[in-house]
Amino acid sequence: MTRKRVAVLISGRGTNLQALLDAQGPFCPYEIVVVVSNNAGVAGLDRAREAGVEAVAIEHRAFGKDREAFERALDAFLRDRNVELVALAGFMRVLTSYFVGAWAGKLINIHPSLLPSFPGLDTYARALASGAKLAGCSVHWVTEGVDTGPIIGQAAVPVMPGDTPDALAARTLEAEHLLYPACLSLVCGGAPLSQGPAPILVNAFL
């Protein structure tokens, strides 16, 4: 089986990266060939190395305010590694139209809300304040605009009485770890991997 060569972009702890790594088995249609962080020394880079995957920091700070210069360096690095698809997993930089255009149709993201509700930051507190009874996460294509691209799949989790943002984040994260491998597998041409025992999991189909 030819596997799609995937790069995962992270900024921190990398638990979604870990889920994507752990799902790589004989029937997995993707291979994570490189992990790039815009912050050096983060736990996610160690996770990649422990899995035998190349792990590199390309620090946005080195490029000052020049977002596009950072993205040109990132783009050149990914092309050098013959990357076919880029998966953002807790990558906390907004990408400009330069990078989004260069990787159009090959760039996906996971976001901790049921889009189109709550794009951007502080999703858990905003979901709680809204009074919604369901929260969750979405995997979507990245287009210009923050968290607005076409949705690939979503997983829902219940909002419980007395929830705090941290409690809701932890519940949502468990669903993310099931949803992201299923969606990445799907866009790489395979069947969605088993969705596991998530409490409520919907619609991981293109």
Q: Is 158 in the site for ligand GAR (CB under 6 A)?
A: no
Tokens at residue 145, please? 């605009």
For ligand GAR, the binding residue among 6, 8, 9, 14 (CB under 6 A) is 14
176 near ligand GAR, judged by CB under 6 A: yes
Q: Which stretch binds ligand GAR (CB under 6 A): 12-20, 59-67, 99-107, 192-200?
A: 12-20
Among residues 6, 9, 16, 115, which is the contact residue for ligand GAR, using CB under 6 A?
16
With CB atoms as reference, the residue minimizing the distance to ligand GAR is 90
**34: contact with ligand GAR by CB under 6 A:** no
Residue 51 found at the interface with ligand GAR (CB under 6 A): no
Q: Decide: is 15 part of the binding site for ligand GAR (CB under 6 A).
A: yes
Binding residues vs ligand GAR (CB under 6 A): 10, 12-16, 44, 89-90, 110-112, 173, 176
